[in-house]
Amino acid sequence: MTSTTALPKTMKSLLQASRKTTEVILVEAPIPTPTHPDDVLVRVHATAPCAGELLWAVNFPDSIPADKVMVPCQDLSGTVVTAPAASDFAPGDRVYCRIEAGRAGAARDYALARASELAKIPSSLNWIEAAATPLSALTAWQSLFVQGTLDAAGIKGDAAAREKNGKIRVLVTGAAGGVGSWVVQLAARSGAKAVVAVCGPGKEEAVRKLGATEIVDYTKTSIEEWVAADPAAREVDLVIEMVGGKTLSGCWAAVKEGGAMVTINTPPEYGKPEGMKKELSKALFFIVEPLGSNLAEIGDLIEAGYVRPTVDSVWEFADYAKAFERLESGHAKGKIIIKVSDEAAAA
Ligand SMILES: NC(=O)c1ccc[n+]([C@@H]2O[C@H](COP(=O)([O-])OP(=O)(O)OC[C@H]3O[C@@H](n4cnc5c(N)ncnc54)[C@H](OP(=O)(O)O)[C@@H]3O)[C@@H](O)[C@H]2O)c1
């Protein structure tokens, strides 16, 4: 730990007005004090909201403790101010992370993250790009390589992993969004046989650049219609689904008998069409784990030039309401970033 005497007494902070509303307000608040042995105090430079996060307290009350200080935006890039002596971090380190959803977020000048959540920022990322990475990249990584059936070793060229991945056709919905843009890149880089990107109009070129091999514009063709045109060639072995509703139902048509479906918006069984007999080897919903160790692996891939974060737009702190509006439009092309410090503004 180092001294915090040079810190101001208060800071600017966003706050969800209450657990029951999606209204966000700007307040002056005290600097948070480390209370957990693994707490790292970080000077925040940039942060990023996550789709739907202002409804978590209502929709997932068990995951958001009643005493959570309702600071939104769980992703950050920043500089370490104080860190436990036994941790891998020291004052001045450039770090990024996802703060677990049950604790106060990072839309403020200073935030507390656990050492286990943090990783050092790859030198090729600025503060904005770094803040665009943690949640989306971690979710994509875990959905493909931890919950899903692709082998991450394929990214670094492991022959056995690439042979295995080379037999797996992957379909991803929301493919141009925050998480989807990482799923496309990681699946393609790992040597998947095909990466089918489901996205809206105007996104085709972007997802092709990320590595998509087939595109379904859901505003022109439903997933069911697309697969029905040539099931033998088009059915997929692994679905990563993040939209829910009709999109999730369509994915049941696209996945092969015995294939796998990983969802992060709605549990797979909620979208299984009535009467459908298809059995999958895996059909699961999961919540991302904010693991700094995974983020460090992703950082190595960024440094090697294999993958990059995608930034939709960057907003001044004072314009936070516009950033949330853009997010809630549901059609972001990558992550929406809010600048917190002047250093991020210079990035
Ligand atoms: N379980 C977890 O741990 C976890 C973690 C992260 C995120 N999530 C959830 O995953 C979802 C995606 O997150 P995100 O950050 O990637 O959101 P995002 O950046 O807002 O992206 C959402 C994407 O959904 C697409 N979309 C909207 N309507 C669609 C439709 N009818 N059919 C197909 N695609 C449609 C949009 O694509 P177009 O503009 O091309 O239409 C957009 O790119 C959110 O619900 C989020 O809460 C869950």
* Angle, helices 292-303/134-141, rounded to nearest 10 degrees: 100
Atom index in ligand 1 nearest the CA of residue 247 equals 32
Helix (H, G, I), strand (E, B) or coil at 198: strand
Whether 180 and 197 map to the same domain: the answer is: yes
CA-nearest residue for atom 2, ligand 1, is 287
165 in any annotated domain: yes
CA-nearest residue for atom 8, ligand 1, is 264
CA-nearest residue for atom 12, ligand 1, is 242
Query: What is the domain extent for residue 19?
Result: 10-133+309-345
Here the CATH number for the domain that contains residue 172 is: 3.40.50.720
Report how far ligand 1's centroid is from the alpha carbon of 216 (Å).
Answer: 15
297 in any annotated domain: no
295 in any annotated domain: no
Angle 201-206-207 from CA coordinates, rounded to 5° = 85
Q: Of the residues 243, 246, 294, which should be mutated to test ligand 1's pocket, given the most ligand atoms within 8 Å of the CB?
A: 243
- Two tokens, residue 345: 């503004």
Domain tally, the chain: 2
Cα–Cα nearest to 347, from 176, 96, 170: 96
Q: How far apart are CA 163 and CA 33, in angstroms?
A: 50
292 in any annotated domain: no
pLDDT recorded at residue 6: 83
Report how far ligand 1's centroid is from the alpha carbon of 265 (Å).
Answer: 8
Report how far ligand 1's centroid is from the alpha carbon of 62 (Å).
Answer: 22
Whether 214 and 195 map to the same domain: the answer is: yes
Atom index in ligand 1 nearest the CA of residue 139 equals 5
Whether 142 and 281 map to the same domain: the answer is: yes
Whether 320 and 194 map to the same domain: the answer is: no
4 in any annotated domain: no
Helix (H, G, I), strand (E, B) or coil at 326: helix
CA-nearest residue for atom 10, ligand 1, is 242
Sheet hosting strand 236-241, strand order edge to edge: 214-217, 194-199, 169-172, 236-241, 255-263, 282-285
Whether 56 and 183 map to the same domain: the answer is: no
Whether 194 and 320 map to the same domain: the answer is: no
CA-nearest residue for atom 15, ligand 1, is 178
pLDDT recorded at residue 264: 97
CA-nearest residue for atom 27, ligand 1, is 330
Report how far ligand 1's centroid is from the alpha carbon of 178 (Å).
Answer: 7
pLDDT recorded at residue 330: 87
Give backbone dihedrals phi and psi of 288, rounded to 5 degrees, phi first: -60, 145
Report how far ligand 1's centroid is from the alpha carbon of 177 (Å).
Answer: 6
Whether 192 and 168 map to the same domain: the answer is: yes
Whether 270 and 318 map to the same domain: the answer is: no
Whether 158 and 129 map to the same domain: the answer is: no
- Two tokens, residue 192: 């998947």
Report how far ligand 1's centroid is from the alpha carbon of 241 (Å).
Answer: 9
Q: Of the residues 56, 199, 225, which should be mutated to test ligand 1's pocket, given the most ligand atoms within 8 Å of the CB?
A: 199
Domain end, chosen from 241, 269, 285, is at 285
CA-nearest residue for atom 35, ligand 1, is 174
Atom index in ligand 1 nearest the CA of residue 336 equals 19
Digit-by-digit pLDDT tens for the chain (347 residues) are 545 558 999 999 999 999 999 999 999 999 999 999 999 999 999 999 998 999 999 999 999 999 999 999 999 999 999 999 999 999 999 999 999 999 999 999 999 999 999 999 999 999 999 999 999 999 999 999 999 999 999 999 999 999 999 999 999 999 999 999 999 999 999 999 999 999 999 999 999 999 999 999 999 999 999 999 999 999 999 999 999 999 999 999 999 999 999 999 999 999 999 999 999 999 999 999 999 999 999 999 999 999 999 999 999 999 999 999 999 988 888 899 999 999 997 66
87 in any annotated domain: yes
Where are the alpha helices (H) located in the chain, listed in sequence order? Answer: 56-59, 127-131, 134-141, 159-165, 178-189, 204-210, 223-228, 231-234, 245-254, 292-303, 320-328, 342-345
CA-nearest residue for atom 23, ligand 1, is 174
* DSSP string covering 87-149: SS--TT-EEEEE--TTS--SSBSEEEEEGGGEEEPPTT--HHHHHTSHHHHHHHHIIIIISSS
298 in any annotated domain: no
Ligand 1 pocket list (CB less than 6 A)? 50-52, 135-136, 139, 173-174, 176-180, 198-200, 203, 218, 242-243, 247, 264-265, 287-288, 330-332
Whether 150 and 279 map to the same domain: the answer is: yes
Q: How far apart are CA 296 and CA 96, in angstroms?
A: 10
Whether 114 and 181 map to the same domain: the answer is: no
Here the CATH number for the domain that contains residue 318 is: 3.90.180.10
Taking phi over 0 as left and psi of -120 to 50 as alpha, with beta for the rest, 155 belongs to: alpha
Report how far ligand 1's centroid is from the alpha carbon of 9 (Å).
Answer: 38
303 in any annotated domain: no
Whether 49 and 87 map to the same domain: the answer is: yes
- Please count the helices (runs of H) and the strands (runs of E) in the chain: 12, 15
Q: Of the residues 50, 147, 294, 327, which should be mutated to test ligand 1's pocket, given the most ligand atoms within 8 Å of the CB?
A: 50
337, 313 Cβ separation under 8 angstroms? yes
Angle 150-293-334 from CA coordinates, rounded to 5° = 65
Q: How far apart are CA 198 and CA 325, in angstroms?
A: 23
